[in-house]
Amino acid sequence: MARTKFTVEVLTPDGEVFNEEVEMVSTKTAVGSIGLLAHHQPMLATLDPAELRLYRSETDVVRYVQGEGYLQVQAGGERVLVLVDEVLEAGELNTSELQEKLKRAQGELDKAEADSAEHRTAKRDVHRYEAFLKVAEGESSS
């Protein structure tokens, strides 16, 4: 069943990654998973590292992994803005590279003094690479 389309724009510090009409957006906020359709109420949400799915149709899904950021549903629910610090195509993830990054981040976390900026950064990186790895492992088993 075709749904009403709306515009989604995905931006990183490096620029625009995606700007098209879709039927649905699916991702993870700080308070849980969310699916957005056209005409959603305006909202602002904090995004966690997770898979970002952009449904052009039921069978045409663009898949990314996202870092931390924000999601804004603009008034009228006809435009969604995803602002994230990092976006990678899910199909391009390298499991062994992510495992190495996770190992380095865990080492930094183990060395960092509790409640320090280094500890918070390393903890965030561990969380990010665990989420990215989960998506990558799911992709490779598909």
Task: Tell me the C-alpha distance between 30 and 44, whole Å.
Answer: 11
78 part of a folded domain = yes
Residues in the chain, overall count: 142
1 part of a folded domain = no
Same domain, 67 and 125: no
Same domain, 76 and 115: no
Which structural domain, as residue segments, surrounds residue 60? 6-90
Same domain, 100 and 37: no
Burial class (CB in 10 A: 0-12, 13-18, 19+), 122: buried
Q: Given this model, what pLDDT does residue 91 score?
A: 86
What averages of pLDDT result for each successive group of 10 residues across the chain (142 residues)?
88 96 95 94 95 95 95 91 94 90 92 90 91 82 44
Q: Given this model, what pLDDT does residue 99 score?
A: 93
Same domain, 118 and 85: no
| Exposure of 128 in the CB half-sphere (CA atoms within 13 A) | 21
Same domain, 68 and 13: yes
Q: Given this model, what pLDDT does residue 2 score?
A: 66
Q: What is the tally of structural domains in the chain?
A: 2
Same domain, 78 and 15: yes
Q: Given this model, what pLDDT does residue 139 score?
A: 61
Q: Given this model, what pLDDT does residue 27 score?
A: 95
Q: Given this model, what pLDDT does residue 138 score?
A: 81
Q: Given this model, what pLDDT does residue 142 score?
A: 43
86 part of a folded domain = yes
